Amino acid sequence: MTHARVVVGVDGSPNSDAALRFAITEARLRGAVLEVVMAWTLPFTGSGSWDLTQLPDPEPIAASHERLLETMIADVDTEGLEVRPIVVQDDAASHLSELAEGADLLVVGRRGHGGFVGLLLGSVSQKLAAHAPCPVAFVPADED
pLDDT tens sequence across 74-128: 999 999 999 999 998 887 888 888 888 999 999 988 764 343 444 444 566 666 7
- φ/ψ of 4, rounded to 5, equals -65, 145
111 within domain boundaries: yes
Between CA 7 and CA 34 the distance in angstroms is: 6
Burial of 68 (0-12, 13-18, 19+ CB in 10 A): middle
pTM: 0.80
What is the domain range of residue 126? 5-41+56-139
CB atoms within 10 A of CB 27: 27
94 within domain boundaries: yes
Model confidence pLDDT, tens digit, residues 31-60:
999 999 998 877 655 555 656 566 677 788
16 within domain boundaries: yes
47 within domain boundaries: no
Residue 115 Rama label (left phi>0; alpha psi -120 to 50; beta): left
26 within domain boundaries: yes
Q: Count up the domains in the chain and report the number.
A: 1
- Say which CATH number the domain at 86 has: 3.40.50.620
Provide the residue type at 93 as one letter: A
50 within domain boundaries: no
74 within domain boundaries: yes
